Structure 1
Amino acid sequence: MSEPEAFNKARLPIVAFILRLVTMILLLTSLTVLITDSATFKPVLSSKEVTIRMKYILLLQKMADTCYHVSAGKHLVGYGGLIYFNLFSDKVVLSLLASGVGAGFGATYDLKKNLDNLDDILQKLGYKTIADIQSELDDFFNLGYVSATLLLLGFLYFGVSSFISSLALSRRTQN
């Protein structure tokens, strides 16, 4: 093996680790934004305050093996089976992240649009219910967009990491 090949082969696990770490940070930040995102208001026809919240379930995988691989230079599980597991599980996680990104942006847009349409109808009827809390609701939906954007960045970083996993499989089948 030539010196540049050995150098590149040694750097790939470190790059993969950094990408997975950045992905994890982005996804955890996205999750934190979603968990803490809420809006509280008092409806006109009720004496009780209403709080709305967004929630999201986050899937993380393979950080333990990647950390172990970077520090010890070997995998927790046999390399042959692990490389196929990583490749296929990356595709599943990428699909879930892509779905989450689409759902995050789509649901936030649709909810905001429907609420704006309801506000228009209520204003024509003489009610200013939603207009009175519009800035709080805008902040609520903006945090939904922030969370979806962080999820999108996590998806992109994880995509690059998945590409590195594909390179590892390609190298293995060539040898």
Structure 2
Amino acid sequence: MDNTTTTHSTSSTYSITLLLLRVLTFIFLVMALIFISINKLTFDEIDAEIKFHDVYAYRYMLSTIVIGFAYNLLQMGFSIFTVVSGKRVLSSNGGYLFDFFGDKIIAYLLISGSAAGLGFTVELLQHIPSDSFTQKANVSASLLLVGFLFTAIASIFTSFALPKKDIN
């Protein structure tokens, strides 16, 4: 009887930890999305404006944020269901594999988006002085990097679930 309580407690702690990591990822992705979406640079002298979507690296960064956001939203829903009901939505072995590979793929996407944004911003700073455009892009890429870290940690936790299941 005591072993069941320990297993349930460990499973509950695992589920709550994953939910917390997904919520933190969600928060950082939302903030990164806001910063990159409002980013624009205005040249009053020539009456021109550059927005984030004029830069391929920033568009890629936005795409990775949106893909990560959608995946994370789905996983948050699954995690909330698991914490509330004590059961998994995808209880088969495929569910564990979906979590594991999904977290890995999304983590790699998020880090590549962050690297693209940070890399372009560094190149841009070599040619123009620091301004609100580069600062907002840097903040967005940095927030995306933190979102990657939380997703990578969640990926480690989902990998712990794999050896416990008989996957054929």
Structure 1 and Structure 2 fold alike (TM over 0.5): yes
Deviations 1:139-172 (A, max 9, x none): 2101111111101110111111111101111222
2:14 maps to 12
1:139 maps to 132
Query: 1:12-161 counterparts in 2 under 5 A?
Result: 12-43=14-45, 46=46, 49-54=47-52, 55=59, 56-57=62-63, 58-59=66-67, 60=69, 61=71, 62-113=75-126, 115-116=127-128, 138-161=131-154
Deviations 1:37-57 (A, max 9, x none): 1121134xx4xx212122412
Q: TM-score, normalised by structure 1?
A: 0.78
Alpha-carbon offset, residue 5 of structure 1? 4.1
Q: TM-score, normalised by structure 2?
A: 0.81
- What amino acid is the match of 2:151? F
Alpha-carbon offset, residue 87 of structure 1? 0.6
SS in 2 for 1:51: strand
Alpha-carbon offset, residue 79 of structure 1? 3.1
Structure 2, unmatched stretches of 5+, are: 53-58
Alpha-carbon offset, residue 67 of structure 1? 1.7
In the comparison of the two structures, how many residue pairs are matched?
150
Alpha-carbon offset, residue 138 of structure 1? 1.3
Structure 1, unmatched stretches of 5+, are: 117-133
Q: CA RMSD in A?
A: 1.9
